[in-house]
């Protein structure tokens, strides 16, 4: 399957790396719109770089070899992963439709752009869809923990509270230095409901930190699951880490000490020492590594869209190329 990545930022560069490692995919190239250090890194990795026709000279002046135009790249591929900035996907979709190319968008786009996707929850429903939307990092993480709990217990209602990071480490757009923003009825609960049928509300705060999001869930069950049962269910999930930790910096430092590239964990970390169960209500928090948690979903979305593998095989192969099984085992051992 020939794949191109339109947009080579936080998500795009990680997806490109994963596509390049996948046994059933070929990375045609990536698009760049600015001749910066990211373009030079892509060139060092041997990726074909495609740019807007009017910017070819700008790249060549910086000594960056250009493989062709963005439109030529899209024409040469079977599937486009659109990792462009939030909100640009709608305009890009018009080009993909014109060229007859299926595409995968990110969670910053409106849910009307394509079929919302989470591999654990609705892989088969996305098969052969023309346009797929991989939901945001937080929504992906909510789905990864709520789906197995929904399968094991009956959930009556979920209340989600998010402390979002202010910006990614590489961002220069900035975040408030001494202010915390919030939004009631944030998009996360709605986006979960595009995938999982569970009554949910969400309230999101944005705080001036960069390492990860920290989200808390109050889950009301029809029944009284114990703390131990909740931990057992989530620890059995291949794409959820269960660990005892006291801060986001502690978790990220472990990722660094383990030598993980870009300290990418690819999975939400369920904080086992945050779990509280009282009657039919359970509370726990998860740490979401916002830069990497949707990478696996993008790869599985390509597989589903192209009909390349069954769900279980796709998830297994994706987890293997990203080293998720090893990461989960190592983090859970160190932070056990």
pLDDT digits (tens, 9 = 90+) for 170-226: 666 655 677 888 889 899 999 999 999 999 999 999 988 889 999 999 999 999 999
Rounded CA gap, 24 and 46, in Å? 19
Query: Helix axis angle, 137-152 relative to 227-235, nearest 10°?
Result: 120
Alpha-carbon distances of 231 from 15, 226, 244, 254, 325, rounded to whole Å: 30, 9, 11, 21, 18
pTM, entire model:
0.95
pLDDT-derived band at 328 (thresholds 50, 70, 90) equals very high
Closest CA to 146 of 268, 328, 310, 322: 268
**pLDDT tens, residue by residue, 118-177:** 999 999 999 999 999 999 999 999 999 999 999 999 999 999 998 887 777 766 665 567
pLDDT of residue 174: 58
Instruction: Find out whether 2 and 26 touch, Cβ atoms under 8 Å.
Output: yes
To the nearest whole number, what is the mean pLDDT of the chain?
Answer: 96
pLDDT of residue 172: 62
Cα-atom radius of gyration of the chain, to the nearest Å? 20
Q: How many CB atoms lie within 10 A of CB 279?
A: 9
- Domains in the chain with CATH codes: 2-135+294-319 (3.40.50.720), 137-293+323-334 (3.30.360.10)
Q: Which residues are catalytic?
A: 137
Rounded CA gap, 127 and 119, in Å? 11
Residue 29 has pLDDT above 80, yes or no: yes
pLDDT of residue 230: 99
Q: Give the tokens for residue 150.
A: 């929904």
Closest CA to 26 of 43, 5, 2: 2
Give me the DSSP letters along 109-122: S-GGGSEEE-HHHH
3-state SS assignment for residue 61: helix
pLDDT, average across residues 238-252: 98
Instruction: Find out whether 133 and 113 touch, Cβ atoms under 8 Å.
Output: yes
Place of tokens 């114990």: 226
Q: Give the tokens for residue 15.
A: 């997806």
Q: What residues pair up with 4 in beta bridges, in sequence order? A: 29, 80
Instruction: DSSP letter for 309, please.
Output: S
**pLDDT tens, residue by residue, 73-122:** 999 999 999 999 888 998 999 999 999 999 999 999 999 999 999 999 99
Rounded CA gap, 149 and 112, in Å? 27
3-state SS assignment for residue 221: strand
Residue 300 has pLDDT above 70, yes or no: yes
Residue 48 has pLDDT above 80, yes or no: yes
Rounded CA gap, 100 and 79, in Å? 10
Closest CA to 73 of 162, 170, 3, 130: 3
Instruction: Find out whether 268 and 241 touch, Cβ atoms under 8 Å.
Output: yes
Rounded CA gap, 141 and 321, in Å? 20
3-state SS assignment for residue 202: strand
Strands 181-184 and 200-207: antiparallel
């Amino acid at each position: 399957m020939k794949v191109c990545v339109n947009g080579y930022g936080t998500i795009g560069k990680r997806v490109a790396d994963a596509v390049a490692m996948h046994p059933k995919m070929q990375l045609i190239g990536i698009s760049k719109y600015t001749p910066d250090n990211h373009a030079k890194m892509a060139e060092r990795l041997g990726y074909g770089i495609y740019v807007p026709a009017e910017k070819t000279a700008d790249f060549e002046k910086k000594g960056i070899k250009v493989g062709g135009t963005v439109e030529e790249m899209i024409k040469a591929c079977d599937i486009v992963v659109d990792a462009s900035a939030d909100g640009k996907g709608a305009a890009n979709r018009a080009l993909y439709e014109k060229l007859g190319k299926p595409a995968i968008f990110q969670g910053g786009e409106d849910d009307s752009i394509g079929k919302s996707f989470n591999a654990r929850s609705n892989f088969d429903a996305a098969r052969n869809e023309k346009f797929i939307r991989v939901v945001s990092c937080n929504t992906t993480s909510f789905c990864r923990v709520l789906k197995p709990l929904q399968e094991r217990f009956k959930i009556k209602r979920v209340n989600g509270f998010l402390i979002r990071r202010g910006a990614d480490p590489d961002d220069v757009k900035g975040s408030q230095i001494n202010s915390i923003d919030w939004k009631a009825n944030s998009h996360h609960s709605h986006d979960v409901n595009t995938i999982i049928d569970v009554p949910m509300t969400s309230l999101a705060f944005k705080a001036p930190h960069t390492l990860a999001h920290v989200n808390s869930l109050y889950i009301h069950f029809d029944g009284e699951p114990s703390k131990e049962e909740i931990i057992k269910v989530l620890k059995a999930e291949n794409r959820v880490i269960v660990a005892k930790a006291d801060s986001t910096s502690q978790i990220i430092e472990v990722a660094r000490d383990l030598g993980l590239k870009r300290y990418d964990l690819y999975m939400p970390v369920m904080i086992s020492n945050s779990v509280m169960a009282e009657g039919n209500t359970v509370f726990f928090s998860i740490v979401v590594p916002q830069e990497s948690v949707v990478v696996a979903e993008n790869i599985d979305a390509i597989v589903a869209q192209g009909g390349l593998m069954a769900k279980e095989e796709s998830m297994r192969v994706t987890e293997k190329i990203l080293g998720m099984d090893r990461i989960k085992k190592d983090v859970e051992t160190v932070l056990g």
